[in-house]
Protein backbone atom coordinates (compact mmCIF):
# COMPACT_ATOMS: atom_id res chain seq x y z
CA UNK A 1 0.00 0.00 0.00
CA UNK A 2 2.80 2.42 0.85
CA UNK A 3 4.31 2.01 -2.62
CA UNK A 4 0.93 2.64 -4.27
CA UNK A 5 0.41 5.80 -2.22
CA UNK A 6 3.82 7.16 -3.18
CA UNK A 7 3.29 6.43 -6.87
CA UNK A 8 -0.11 8.15 -6.93
CA UNK A 9 1.13 11.20 -5.03
CA UNK A 10 4.22 11.46 -7.20
CA UNK A 11 2.04 11.29 -10.30
CA UNK A 12 0.03 14.26 -9.07
CA UNK A 13 3.27 16.15 -8.45
CA UNK A 14 4.45 15.32 -11.95
CA UNK A 15 1.14 16.43 -13.45
CA UNK A 16 1.43 19.68 -11.50
CA UNK A 17 4.83 20.17 -13.09
CA UNK A 18 3.27 19.69 -16.50
CA UNK A 19 0.77 22.43 -15.74
CA UNK A 20 3.47 24.83 -14.66
CA UNK A 21 5.69 24.07 -17.61
CA UNK A 22 2.93 24.80 -20.12
CA UNK A 23 1.83 27.80 -18.07
CA UNK A 24 -1.55 27.60 -19.77
CA UNK A 25 -3.75 25.73 -17.29
CA UNK A 26 -4.63 27.28 -13.95
CA UNK A 27 -6.17 25.29 -11.15
CA UNK A 28 -8.81 26.66 -8.81
CA UNK A 29 -10.60 25.50 -5.70
CA UNK A 30 -14.06 23.99 -5.89
CA UNK A 31 -16.59 25.46 -3.48
CA UNK A 32 -18.25 23.08 -0.99
CA UNK A 33 -21.61 23.90 -2.58
CA UNK A 34 -20.46 22.94 -6.08
CA UNK A 35 -18.75 19.83 -4.73
CA UNK A 36 -22.03 18.81 -3.05
CA UNK A 37 -23.90 19.36 -6.30
CA UNK A 38 -21.45 17.06 -8.10
CA UNK A 39 -21.78 14.42 -5.37
CA UNK A 40 -25.57 14.52 -5.69
CA UNK A 41 -25.22 14.08 -9.45
CA UNK A 42 -22.99 11.03 -9.10
CA UNK A 43 -24.84 9.18 -6.32
CA UNK A 44 -27.90 7.98 -8.34
CA UNK A 45 -25.60 6.68 -11.06
CA UNK A 46 -24.37 4.08 -8.58
CA UNK A 47 -27.16 3.53 -6.04
CA UNK A 48 -30.93 3.56 -6.37
CA UNK A 49 -33.30 4.98 -3.80
CA UNK A 50 -33.97 8.33 -2.19
CA UNK A 51 -30.98 9.81 -0.38
CA UNK A 52 -30.40 13.05 1.51
CA UNK A 53 -27.10 14.74 2.36
CA UNK A 54 -26.26 14.13 6.00
CA UNK A 55 -23.06 16.17 6.01
CA UNK A 56 -19.60 16.62 4.54
CA UNK A 57 -16.04 16.02 5.69
CA UNK A 58 -13.16 18.22 4.52
CA UNK A 59 -9.91 16.51 3.62
CA UNK A 60 -6.51 18.14 3.20
CA UNK A 61 -3.28 17.54 1.31
CA UNK A 62 0.21 17.56 2.85
CA UNK A 63 0.41 21.29 2.19
CA UNK A 64 -2.59 21.95 4.42
CA UNK A 65 -4.94 22.83 1.56
CA UNK A 66 -8.44 21.38 1.17
CA UNK A 67 -8.15 18.83 -1.62
CA UNK A 68 -11.30 16.68 -1.37
CA UNK A 69 -14.69 16.31 0.29
CA UNK A 70 -16.48 13.20 1.51
CA UNK A 71 -20.24 13.67 1.36
CA UNK A 72 -22.22 11.32 3.55
CA UNK A 73 -25.76 10.54 2.42
CA UNK A 74 -28.55 8.88 4.37
CA UNK A 75 -31.56 7.06 2.98
CA UNK A 76 -34.79 8.97 3.37
CA UNK A 77 -36.53 7.89 6.54
CA UNK A 78 -33.34 7.05 8.42
CA UNK A 79 -33.84 8.81 11.76
CA UNK A 80 -30.58 10.75 11.91
CA UNK A 81 -30.44 14.47 11.14
CA UNK A 82 -26.74 15.41 11.11
CA UNK A 83 -23.23 14.05 11.51
CA UNK A 84 -23.19 14.63 15.27
CA UNK A 85 -26.25 12.43 15.70
CA UNK A 86 -24.68 9.89 13.35
CA UNK A 87 -21.48 9.89 15.40
CA UNK A 88 -23.43 9.24 18.60
CA UNK A 89 -25.27 6.36 16.94
CA UNK A 90 -21.98 4.86 15.74
CA UNK A 91 -20.55 4.98 19.26
CA UNK A 92 -23.67 3.33 20.69
CA UNK A 93 -23.66 0.53 18.11
CA UNK A 94 -22.01 -2.80 18.91
CA UNK A 95 -19.93 -4.58 16.30
CA UNK A 96 -17.57 -3.04 13.76
CA UNK A 97 -19.51 -4.06 10.61
CA UNK A 98 -22.73 -2.65 12.03
CA UNK A 99 -21.09 0.72 12.76
CA UNK A 100 -20.73 1.41 9.03
CA UNK A 101 -24.51 1.40 8.43
CA UNK A 102 -24.10 0.16 4.87
CA UNK A 103 -27.84 -0.25 4.36
CA UNK A 104 -28.74 3.21 5.54
CA UNK A 105 -25.90 5.42 4.25
CA UNK A 106 -23.61 6.01 1.28
CA UNK A 107 -20.49 8.09 0.73
CA UNK A 108 -19.32 10.04 -2.31
CA UNK A 109 -15.77 11.42 -2.33
CA UNK A 110 -15.16 14.28 -4.76
CA UNK A 111 -12.23 16.52 -5.56
CA UNK A 112 -11.93 20.08 -4.27
CA UNK A 113 -9.64 21.13 -7.15
CA UNK A 114 -10.86 21.60 -10.72
CA UNK A 115 -7.76 20.08 -12.34
CA UNK A 116 -8.48 16.73 -10.66
CA UNK A 117 -11.25 14.38 -11.83
CA UNK A 118 -14.44 15.29 -9.92
CA UNK A 119 -15.26 11.81 -8.69
CA UNK A 120 -12.78 9.98 -6.52
CA UNK A 121 -14.92 7.17 -5.13
CA UNK A 122 -18.42 6.05 -4.12
CA UNK A 123 -19.43 3.30 -1.70
CA UNK A 124 -22.25 2.26 0.59
CA UNK A 125 -21.78 2.97 4.27
CA UNK A 126 -19.85 5.50 6.30
CA UNK A 127 -16.17 6.39 5.78
CA UNK A 128 -13.66 4.59 7.99
CA UNK A 129 -12.27 7.95 9.09
CA UNK A 130 -15.71 8.72 10.54
CA UNK A 131 -16.43 5.34 12.10
CA UNK A 132 -13.00 4.90 13.69
CA UNK A 133 -12.38 8.50 14.74
CA UNK A 134 -12.77 7.73 18.45
CA UNK A 135 -10.44 4.72 18.19
CA UNK A 136 -7.80 6.95 16.62
CA UNK A 137 -8.30 9.62 19.27
CA UNK A 138 -7.85 6.99 22.00
CA UNK A 139 -4.72 5.62 20.31
CA UNK A 140 -3.12 9.07 20.08
CA UNK A 141 -3.98 9.91 23.68
CA UNK A 142 -2.59 6.63 25.02
CA UNK A 143 0.45 6.11 22.78
CA UNK A 144 1.42 9.66 21.77
CA UNK A 145 0.13 11.97 24.54
CA UNK A 146 2.26 14.86 23.28
CA UNK A 147 0.31 14.80 20.00
CA UNK A 148 -3.17 16.05 19.13
CA UNK A 149 -5.55 14.64 16.55
CA UNK A 150 -5.48 17.02 13.62
CA UNK A 151 -6.88 17.15 10.13
CA UNK A 152 -8.05 14.39 7.84
CA UNK A 153 -5.40 13.94 5.13
CA UNK A 154 -6.28 12.71 1.65
CA UNK A 155 -3.34 10.80 0.17
CA UNK A 156 -5.40 9.02 -2.47
CA UNK A 157 -8.98 7.70 -2.71
CA UNK A 158 -8.02 4.51 -0.88
CA UNK A 159 -5.66 6.02 1.69
CA UNK A 160 -7.28 8.70 3.82
CA UNK A 161 -5.64 9.20 7.20
CA UNK A 162 -5.62 11.34 10.32
CA UNK A 163 -2.89 13.82 11.14
CA UNK A 164 -1.40 13.68 14.63
CA UNK A 165 0.42 16.91 15.39
CA UNK A 166 2.35 18.43 18.27
CA UNK A 167 1.21 21.86 17.13
CA UNK A 168 -2.00 23.38 18.42
CA UNK A 169 -2.36 25.94 15.60
CA UNK A 170 -2.41 23.98 12.33
CA UNK A 171 -5.11 25.80 10.37
CA UNK A 172 -4.01 26.60 6.81
CA UNK A 173 -0.49 25.37 7.52
CA UNK A 174 1.45 22.53 5.85
CA UNK A 175 1.88 19.39 7.90
CA UNK A 176 4.96 19.63 10.08
CA UNK A 177 7.74 17.12 9.48
CA UNK A 178 7.36 15.58 12.94
CA UNK A 179 3.62 14.96 12.48
CA UNK A 180 2.28 11.43 12.17
CA UNK A 181 -0.22 9.94 9.74
CA UNK A 182 -2.58 7.40 11.26
CA UNK A 183 -4.52 5.05 9.00
CA UNK A 184 -7.84 3.46 9.87
CA UNK A 185 -6.52 0.18 8.47
CA UNK A 186 -3.39 0.14 10.66
CA UNK A 187 -4.04 2.43 13.59
CA UNK A 188 -1.09 1.07 15.55
CA UNK A 189 1.38 1.66 12.70
CA UNK A 190 1.59 5.45 12.23
CA UNK A 191 3.73 6.86 9.44
CA UNK A 192 5.98 9.87 9.74
CA UNK A 193 5.23 12.82 7.48
CA UNK A 194 8.98 13.34 7.05
CA UNK A 195 9.37 9.78 5.71
CA UNK A 196 6.51 10.19 3.26
CA UNK A 197 7.86 13.51 2.01
CA UNK A 198 11.31 11.98 1.55
CA UNK A 199 9.84 9.11 -0.48
CA UNK A 200 7.86 11.57 -2.59
CA UNK A 201 10.92 13.70 -3.27
CA UNK A 202 12.88 10.63 -4.35
CA UNK A 203 10.06 9.53 -6.60
CA UNK A 204 9.72 13.01 -8.09
CA UNK A 205 13.44 13.12 -8.88
CA UNK A 206 13.18 9.79 -10.69
CA UNK A 207 10.14 11.00 -12.65
CA UNK A 208 11.91 14.22 -13.60
CA UNK A 209 14.93 12.25 -14.73
CA UNK A 210 12.74 10.04 -16.91
CA UNK A 211 11.15 13.12 -18.44
CA UNK A 212 14.53 14.69 -19.12
CA UNK A 213 15.70 11.52 -20.88
CA UNK A 214 12.79 11.54 -23.32
CA UNK A 215 13.45 12.87 -26.78
CA UNK A 216 11.80 16.18 -27.60
CA UNK A 217 8.86 14.71 -29.52
CA UNK A 218 8.07 12.02 -26.95
CA UNK A 219 8.22 14.58 -24.16
CA UNK A 220 5.94 16.93 -26.07
CA UNK A 221 3.40 14.14 -26.67
CA UNK A 222 3.53 13.07 -23.03
CA UNK A 223 2.98 16.59 -21.71
CA UNK A 224 0.20 17.18 -24.21
CA UNK A 225 -1.53 14.00 -23.08
CA UNK A 226 -1.35 15.13 -19.45
CA UNK A 227 -2.65 18.58 -20.30
CA UNK A 228 -5.55 17.04 -22.20
CA UNK A 229 -6.46 14.92 -19.19
CA UNK A 230 -6.31 17.94 -16.91
CA UNK A 231 -8.34 20.03 -19.33
CA UNK A 232 -10.97 17.28 -19.46
CA UNK A 233 -11.26 17.49 -15.67
CA UNK A 234 -11.64 21.27 -15.84
CA UNK A 235 -14.28 20.93 -18.55
CA UNK A 236 -16.24 18.45 -16.43
CA UNK A 237 -16.17 20.82 -13.46
CA UNK A 238 -17.24 23.69 -15.73
CA UNK A 239 -20.16 21.57 -16.88
CA UNK A 240 -21.18 20.95 -13.27
CA UNK A 241 -20.86 24.65 -12.50
CA UNK A 242 -23.10 25.64 -15.41
CA UNK A 243 -25.81 23.22 -14.27
CA UNK A 244 -25.33 24.32 -10.66
CA UNK A 245 -25.97 27.95 -11.63
CA UNK A 246 -29.09 27.00 -13.60
CA UNK A 247 -30.71 24.83 -10.93
Q: What is the pLDDT of residues 63-100, one digit of tens each?
A: 999 999 999 999 999 999 999 999 999 999 999 999 99
Residue 239's pLDDT band, with cuts at 50, 70 and 90, is: very high
Helix then strand count (H, E) for the chain reads: 8, 8
Per-residue model confidence as pLDDT tens digits over 110-141: 999 999 999 999 999 999 999 999 999 999 99
Residue 170's pLDDT band, with cuts at 50, 70 and 90, is: confident
CA distance 96 to 119: 27
User: For residues 92 and 6, which has the higher predicted lDDT (pLDDT)?
Assistant: 92
* pLDDT on residue 23: 52
Apex 39 CA angle, 80 and 17, nearest 5: 135
Q: Count CA atoms closer than 13 A to 92's CA, side-chain side.
A: 6
* pLDDT on residue 21: 52
Contacts of 74 (CB under 8 A, 6+ apart): 51, 52, 54, 80, 86, 104, 105
Percent pLDDT > 90 in the chain is 86
Per-residue model confidence as pLDDT tens digits over 23-70: 567 899 999 999 999 999 999 999 999 999 999 999 999 999 999 999
Q: Are 107 and 72 in contact (CB under 8 A)?
A: yes
Query: What are phi and psi for residue 68, nearest 5 degrees?
Result: -160, 160
User: For residues 221 and 11, which has the higher predicted lDDT (pLDDT)?
Assistant: 221
What's the whole-number average pLDDT of the chain?
91
Amino acid sequence: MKKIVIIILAFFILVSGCINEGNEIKSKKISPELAEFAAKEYLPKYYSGDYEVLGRIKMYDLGGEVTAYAFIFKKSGFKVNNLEEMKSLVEETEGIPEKYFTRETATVVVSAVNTISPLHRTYTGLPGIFVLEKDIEDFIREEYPEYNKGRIIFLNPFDIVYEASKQSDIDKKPLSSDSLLISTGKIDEPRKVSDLRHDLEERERREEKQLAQMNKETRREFLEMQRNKIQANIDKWNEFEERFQLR
